[in-house]
Amino acid sequence: MADAASGECGIEIVEVSPRDGLQNEAGLVSTADKLALIDRAIAAGARRIEVTSFVNPARVPQLADADAVVAGLPVHDDVTFIALVLNRRGAERALATRIDELGAVCVASDTFALRNQKQTSAESLLAARDTVALARAAGRGGQITIAAAFGCPLEGEVSLARVIDMARRAAEAGPREVALADTIGVAVPAQVAEAVGRVAEAIAPLPVRVHLHDTRGTGIANVWAAIEAGARVIDASLGGTGGCPFAPGASGNVATEDVLYLLDRSNVATGYDRALAIEAARWLGGVLGRDLPGKLGRAPQFPPANLSPASLSGAGA
């Protein structure tokens, strides 16, 4: 990954806080606050944003205002707004709006696929391919994510060979990219590196995206492992918010501002303003009424903003 580490290759960050970041929140967040979050993400540099999901509101009440959120989106020619959909009905609802891109999800294990989408793993892959076809026919973008690619909350270990085969078949549908999702935050860097590298080889030249959760504290290390192995797109959520209502114990995504610290300090371009991302994460914490998991919002600034010759002299040390 020498080119990215030397700053010659940028990494795209997909901001997922308005959808994945909020879907597991017990208290309903207003449509106005969701739109304000999207505005703040754009101001910080986000150019692809997962803004909502067209799913059954009875199953995910937090996203019942999907139509209202999309209707209220700002006009930005250089910003791609993404909606997650799980089936044809959701795709058709989304395509009736001005949404730019559909995110389809298939699941690497049968048990979780049945719980999450009421389909088997194979059926979820067929539905994801169908979603991409619908999006392309409508002149929109489409992407496919393989959920539970690193481990299932109900079945445990997931076969990498199965994930590679699913990725290859997903790529045949012509999506923008294929993503590997660590839905429950069980992956470790060596596992991520192997999976990303082998999937990247299997679906080349299609890009690999990763969607990582920090449930067990390995999220940021996994981001770097993914990039070194060839991933070029990273999902992240302001403040480290997020979780899946259908995956026991799943907690937040990798925090956007923490990913930015990692990449900024490694001379990898992202197009983001880290200070504005931290500010947006703190604002979101105020909306949700609690301190969020992201580290940068609670850490002192580095390098310090007020360095002076006196402060560097060591006086008083």
Cα–Cα nearest to 257, from 34, 35, 13:
13
Which helix (H) or strand (E) segment holds residue 144: the answer is strand 141-147
- Confidence (pLDDT) at 4: 44
3-state secondary structure of 102: strand
Q: If DSSP states are collapsed to H, E and C, what string results for 3-68?
A: HHHCCCCCCEEEECHHHHHCCCCCCCCCHHHHHHHHHHHHHHCCCEEEEEEECCCCCCHHHCCHHH
CB distance 141 to 102 below 8 Å:
yes
The CB-side HSE value for 110 (13 A sphere, CA atoms) comes to 2
Q: Burial level of 97, CB count in 10 A (0-12/13-18/19+)? A: middle
**From its phi and psi, is residue 7 left (phi > 0), alpha (psi between -120 and 50) or beta?**
left
**CA-to-CA distance for 286 and 274, rounded, in angstroms?**
19
3-state secondary structure of 251: coil
CB distance 226 to 210 below 8 Å:
yes
- Confidence (pLDDT) at 118: 87
Output the six-digit token pair for 300. Answer: 């002192």
Output the six-digit token pair for 205. Answer: 């030249």
Going residue by residue through the chain (317 aa), what tens digit of pLDDT does each one get? 334 443 445 999 999 999 999 998 989 999 999 999 999 999 999 999 999 999 999 989 999 999 999 999 999 999 999 999 999 999 999 999 999 999 999 999 999 888 878 899 999 999 999 999 999 999 999 999 999 999 998 899 999 999 999 999 999 999 999 999 999 999 999 999 999 999 999 999 999 999 999 999 999 999 999 999 999 999 999 999 998 776 766 788 999 999 999 999 999 999 999 999 999 999 999 999 999 999 999 999 898 887 655 555 554 44
CB distance 107 to 117 below 8 Å:
yes
Q: Taking the mean position of all CA atoms in its chain, how far away is CA 136?
A: 22
**CA-to-CA distance for 52 and 116, rounded, in angstroms?**
17
Cα–Cα nearest to 17, from 50, 45, 48:
50
Active site residue 244: yes
The CB-side HSE value for 300 (13 A sphere, CA atoms) comes to 4
Long-range contacts of 5-9 (CB under 8 A, 24+ apart): 5/228, 5/266, 5/267, 5/268, 6/267, 7/267, 7/268, 7/269, 9/232, 9/268, 9/269
For the chain, domains (ranges, CATH) are 8-298 (3.20.20.70)
